Amino acid sequence: MTQEFDAAALAADYWSTSIIDIHPGSINVRGFPIQELIGSISFPQMIWLMLRGELPDKNQAGLFEAALVASVDHGPHAPSIAISRMATSCGLPLNGAMASAINALDDVHGGAGQQAVELYDSIVALENAGAALEDAVEQGVDAFIGERGKYLPGFGHRFHPVDPRATRLLALVDASVEHGVIGGKYAAVARGIEALLKARKNKPVPMNIDGATAVIYAELGFAPELARGVFCLSRAVGILSHAWEQRGRKERNKGPMPRQMAYKYTGKPERHLA
């Protein structure tokens, strides 16, 4: 028996969205006519509106923008940046180089911000259940390590003894707490983790860029997965910049190290079939 249906209604429901409403001569984003948004709001405000459904206030937008600015680039030794340059030298157009690089922003390279928000959330949940901050931090960190391994996202850096980006972002966080823009709960949790790590390792293990941006995204109410998503938006600027610079160098087949430097072979010595 053939089931009758309204094809137009089915298609409309299939692609239903609360983000954008388009008709001939009309484009509304989250209910706002696009012509009212153009020239009136910043790109970070537009990102917020698209993701969250409402516009941030000026102070929220400023803190969000600071986190985006801080994460744009970390040099050619960052895998995503190196990939963009190598892909460009292999003949990929800019969009292909960007796609190749962004695809590398997974759990190990690019996922620490999301993981840090998840860690902070677990500690806040323990606090909300009645645990004191210090106890919640210790329980949350131990549970995180037990489940995911000894690496703790958002703390320590292989290159910077103290990450200058984190220092500046945390100063902005403190100012935002003082002015009532954010509550400060996640900032307190992150600093509690710093204190715990220092006590356990007998040396400072400062917050890095991922830990600091995670504080901002969590304080502003972004879901953990969006912390990675907006990091990808930010790092895409650096990826594009390096791909474009590489394009101008006219190099071909750029590998992961200069051709004058040999890699180390660790296999069997030369041998023969007979």
Distance of CA 109 to the CA centre of its chain: 10
Indicate the Cα dihedral angle 11, 13, 18, 20, nearest 10°. Answer: 20
pLDDT at 6 over 90: no
pLDDT in tens, 192-232: 999 999 999 999 999 999 999 999 999 999 999 999 999 99
Of 105, 128, 121, 118, nearest in space to 148 by CA: 118
Return all residues near 148 (Cβ < 8 A) that are at least 6 apart: 115
Q: What is the pLDDT of residue 2?
A: 63
pLDDT at 5 over 80: no
Tokens 């998840």 sit on residue: 118
Per domain, the residue ranges of the chain are 19-55, 79-247
DSSP 205: -
Contact yes or no for 80/105 (Cβ under 8 A): yes
Higher pLDDT, 5 or 140: 140
pLDDT in tens, 77-133: 899 999 999 999 999 999 999 999 999 998 888 889 999 999 999 999 999 999 999
Q: What is the pLDDT of residue 157?
A: 78
pLDDT in tens, 17-53: 999 999 999 999 999 999 999 999 999 999 999 999 9
How is domain 79-247 classified at the CATH fold level? Answer: Cytochrome p450-Terp; domain 2 (1.10.230)
pTM, 2 dp: 0.92
pLDDT in tens, 246-274: 999 988 888 888 888 988 999 999 999 98
Q: What is the pLDDT of residue 1?
A: 53
